Structure 1
Amino acid sequence: MRCAYAARQDPDDPLSGLEVGDLPEPETPDGWVRVQVRAASLNHHDLWSLRGVGLPADRLPMILGTDAAGATVDGREVIVHSVIASPGWTGEETLDPKRTLLSELHPGTLAEQVHVPARNVIDKPAGWSFAEAACLPTAYLTAYRMLYGAAGVAPGQRVLVQGAGGGVATAAILLARLGGAHVTVTSRDEAKLERARALGAHDAVASGTRIAPVDAVLETVGEATWAHSLRSLRPGGVIAVAGATSGPAPSADLNRVFFRSLRVIGTTMGTLAELAAVRDAMVAGGLRPVIDSTHRFTDDDEGTTAVRTAFERLASGAAYGKVVLTR
């Protein structure tokens, strides 16, 4: 089975461990389904796996990828939910202490097929391309949960999105505007700020700029933006944290947190029900995911080059929206 996988791990040069080749197709466990992958989007999770974070070396080689859209053996067009609960778990899957994402314990989506529990698929929206559908399972699900699950954003509230170009950030702009929020976005890149304005951000400002106090901050950057996130909140405001791409925050600034009654809420991915909810909200609102670029993953040298080009695009930080592989 042709796939893109982590063969080795290097914290300083993650792409050195990326390989494209053939690995045996895994068997389909009882209660699982096989999905023929038509498109898969990349995430920073893939780079972390190649760095050796969250993926033990004894599980290599591991097929990468958490996001996919494709078709089951009976022709049903689906989106894959990548949060895999442990056997016997009956509660919310994101709270299962033994949960994993595809490509951590079970082979991921950057392959001809992916195998998932039967409950881990939902219908692809009619009229959406597979590339568009493959953008939802991580970035859009995470942004939706941050906004409406963790932060509880209501119409008319002010939201700050730290970082203007990533998959979660672009998703957050669209989804916050859809929910009637006032959206401010930051970036060090003026071109990304301009694109954020075109996407619907009310304000797009240089990173660290003092802004009017906001009700909620969506934080995925970490160290580089943490102090600004805390300073930007009104008393009683909330930071929803779903990542730290620039490193962990250098100081929690607890004096500010308790004196201003601030809340910090961590969140990871989302549930199957939330994935269906964000899909339905976007369809009802006439929204489509923002795609930076698509790359054709064919079973030849050109396909191998396409995979590496896609990963280089993701790693460069220059992408605006999602980077997608199609088959």
Structure 2
Amino acid sequence: MHRDGMLAARAVAQSATDPLSGLKVGDVPRPAARPGWSVVRVVASSINMHDVWTLRGVGHPAERLPIILGCDAAGLDEDGNEVIVYPVIADPDAGGGDETLDPDRALLSERHDGAFAQYLTVPTRNLIPKPEWLTFEQAACLPVAWTTAYRMLFTQARITAGDRVLVQGAGGGVASAAISLAAAAGAVVYATSRSEDKREKALSWGARETFPSGAKLPEKVDVVIETVGEATWSHSLRSLRPGGTLVVAGATSGTNPPADLARVFYLQQRILGSTGCTRPELIAMLRMMDATGVRPVIDRVLPLDEIDKGFQLMLDGELTGKIIVCPPAPRP
């Protein structure tokens, strides 16, 4: 490798039927520093469904290819400080102090090269000190999946101790985070999954009871955390108490669920959308994790040159928690 190059995983093409055909791992130029931005040496990153959607051509225009994938990063800044990268590049004042409402916001790997590389550049304000009680691998789980779950639970649904919370689709990154965070906050958590193994894992993360997908719960819940979409939507509404809140931040099974509007208005149920998190929410979540001892669930750790194996596991649904990707340390 040239001394000014680095190893990276890029989306170079898109295919709805064969997304991995557009994934390429190879040598690319190393990013240069620029005013107001920092260069980070990536120690660990993690795979998100967002990366799969990019490879499938969903929500990512082809004219933005090639682009380095990866939304999550933990690593070292130019001075050797251990940092977590806040992944939303936006104007923090555009949304009244909520950068997720900035219409021009962009997640890492959308308009700016992402984290599946030895180095990346981000605005300096996006760097947050990594607490010493988190490993780099644990820290790399947090920027997208865990903060998404945190915002859904505490900013949007405003859960409190004793609330009944249903998490659909236990096993995915957001769902596993939501189970852990809600349980740590004192909620009674129910979780569903088609997989018996994933239901057992959900119990170890703090769920009180788990059920096969679509099964009747022992009681109506105050809050539903929904990231599955079409396949679970009707069950989510049936499981929600009158006046309860459904928070949706994804739709891995499809984006056109049955409306069931009669149920929604007659029972005065609230449906709230949620996307990403703010920088202060990431910091608040770190404080909660420090106070409660809750930690991310890691499925496995892979080197960057084997990232295709991680993507295949995600496509097959054969994972529980986050897949960590570690680029090689740069040569001196």
1:315 aligns with 2:315: yes
Which of 39, 48, 65 aligns to 2:70? It is: 65
8 A contact 2:71–2:114 mirrored in 1: yes
CA distance in 2, matches of 1:40, 1:295: 10
8 A contact 2:46–2:140 mirrored in 1: yes
- The 3-state SS of whatever aligns with 2:121 is strand
Distance 1:88 1:187, change over 3 A: closer
Q: Deviations over 1:14-68 (max 9, x none)?
A: 1110000112233333211111000000000000000111221111110000000
Residue 108 of structure 1: aligned partner = 114
Which of 133, 142, 162 aligns to 1:136? It is: 142
CA distance in 2, matches of 1:176, 1:295: 29
- The 3-state SS of whatever aligns with 2:190 is strand
1:272-287 equivalences in 2 (<5 Å) = 272-287=279-294
1:76 aligns with 2:81: yes
Which of 129, 136, 159 aligns to 2:165? It is: 159
CA distance in 1, matches of 2:206, 2:234: 25
Residue 239 of structure 1: aligned partner = 246
CA distance in 1, matches of 2:33, 2:154: 35
Give me the TM-score of the superposition, normalised by structure 2.
0.94
1:117 aligns with 2:127: no
Structure 1 position 75, deviation (Å): 0.9
CA distance in 1, matches of 2:154, 2:315: 29
Moved over 6 A (4+): none
Which of 8, 19, 25 aligns to 1:20? It is: 25
- Matched residue count: 320
Q: Which moved more, 1:261-270 or 1:25-34?
A: 25-34
CA distance in 2, matches of 1:55, 1:25: 23
Counterpart amino acid of residue 41 in structure 2: Q
1:38 aligns with 2:62: no
8 A contact 1:54–1:104 mirrored in 2: no
1:192 aligns with 2:198: yes
- The 3-state SS of whatever aligns with 2:29 is coil
Structure 1 position 88, deviation (Å): 7.6
Q: Deviations over 1:185-211 (max 9, x none)?
A: 001111111111122110100110111
CA distance in 2, matches of 1:253, 1:269: 26
CA distance in 2, matches of 1:145, 1:127: 22
CA distance in 1, matches of 2:55, 2:110: 11
CA distance in 2, matches of 1:263, 1:249: 18
1:125-274 equivalences in 2 (<5 Å) = 125-211=131-217, 212-274=219-281
- The 3-state SS of whatever aligns with 2:39 is strand
CA distance in 2, matches of 1:247, 1:165: 18
Q: Which moved more, 1:247-256 or 1:204-213?
A: 247-256
State the superposition RMSD in angstroms.
Answer: 1.3
Residue 330 of structure 2: aligned partner = none
Distance 1:145 1:87, change over 3 A: closer
CA distance in 2, matches of 1:214, 1:76: 43
CA distance in 2, matches of 1:249, 1:156: 32
8 A contact 2:93–2:99 mirrored in 1: no
CA distance in 1, matches of 2:289, 2:271: 27
- The 3-state SS of whatever aligns with 1:319 is coil
Unpaired runs of 5+ in structure 1?
A: 298-303
Structure 1 position 249, deviation (Å): 3.4
Unpaired runs of 5+ in structure 2?
A: 1-5, 328-332
